[in-house]
Amino acid sequence: MSLTNRRCFVVLVSLLTVFIFMLGIGGCGSPDEDEAVVEETVEEEVEEEVDTIEEEDVDPDAAALELEEWRNPTDLVSLINLFEELEWSWTTFEEGVETETLVVNYSYLGSETVDGIDTEVAEITFDDQKIKAWIDRDGNPAQAEIDGEFLPGEQAEMIMEGILMSLFWPFWTIDEFDVQGMIAEPTPGVKFSDTSTEQVQFNGVGAEVTRLQLDLGPPATPEGEEASVVWAIADFAGDFQMLIEWSVEETDVDDFSFTMNVTKAVPR
């Protein structure tokens, strides 16, 4: 992948991520700094109003899901610690028509010494592109190979940062939304419309998968914005839990939706 193509890819996925944040799922909008500076008396009134909303909007029947070992992989180091292999895909749709599908495959390749530094070696492929990285004990790349081109540590980190952030966006975005908190206990504006649990085999490794359909509205989302989503959480033998599916079924943006699925998982 040329440097130009890498930049285009990062820009494309970054724009998609920003668009998803604009949907307001999880209430991730940031207030303007000027609006945040208010008189103390006004702050007290706002706090009272928020307390009232929370009391009214919490669903007392919302089923809690224990996520005591949440290990959502948000970067390459997380993957190295958790998996031998992991594959996930995400697909975007406009007006019900698929516009793009990206499949990302990660593999752990073992340990190697690079210039006297002990490293863990991992490889990620996507769209016929390949990144091989040697990660030191501090989580930094000692070197990388990108489409056959070897790069030293600092240069590898600079080029890999944007690419990996784009590839990992389903996982770190879910953590930004604090899905773990939403699922674990009743949350204002979050209503569970359906839940189901099943045993799923990932390459011979069993996991208990809980699929949750939720309706999201204020105060979990900005005023006037609502969405219907599906989140599926896999529990790998009680060792850890993570996101394996994320679908946006309905939003205020009628012509846009997406799905994300983990299709292969081999824990270490």
Please give the pLDDT value at position 234. Answer: 94
116 pLDDT above the threshold of 90: yes
Give me the pLDDT at residue 151, please. 92
pTM of the model: 0.74
Binned at pLDDT 50, 70 and 90, residue 27 comes out as very low
Residue 192's pLDDT band (cuts 50, 70, 90): confident
Rounded to the nearest 10°, the torsion over CA 3, 5, 11, 12 is -160
Domain boundaries defined on the chain = 21-71+178-267, 74-170
pLDDT above 90: residue 264: yes
pLDDT tens digit string along 207-249?
999 998 888 888 878 888 888 889 999 999 889 999 999 988 6
pLDDT digits (tens, 9 = 90+) for 34-76: 444 333 433 444 344 334 334 444 444 445 577 889 999 999 9
Distance CA 42, CA 4 (A): 50
Q: What type of residue is 218?
A: P
Using a pLDDT cut of 70, give the percent of the chain over it: 73
Most confidently modeled range among 5-9, 39-43, 174-178, 180-184? 174-178
Residues 81-101: tens digit of each pLDDT: 999 999 999 898 877 777 889
How is residue 123 written in tokens? 């490889």
**pLDDT classification of 113: cutoffs 50, 70, 90:** very high
Question: Per DSSP, which regions of the chain are E strands?
Answer: 83-94, 97-114, 117-126, 129-135, 141-146, 149-152, 190-202, 205-216, 227-236, 240-251, 256-267
Averaged over 194-208, what is the pLDDT? 88
Q: Which two tokens stand for residue 70?
A: 């949440």
Does the pLDDT of residue 263 top 60, yes or no? yes
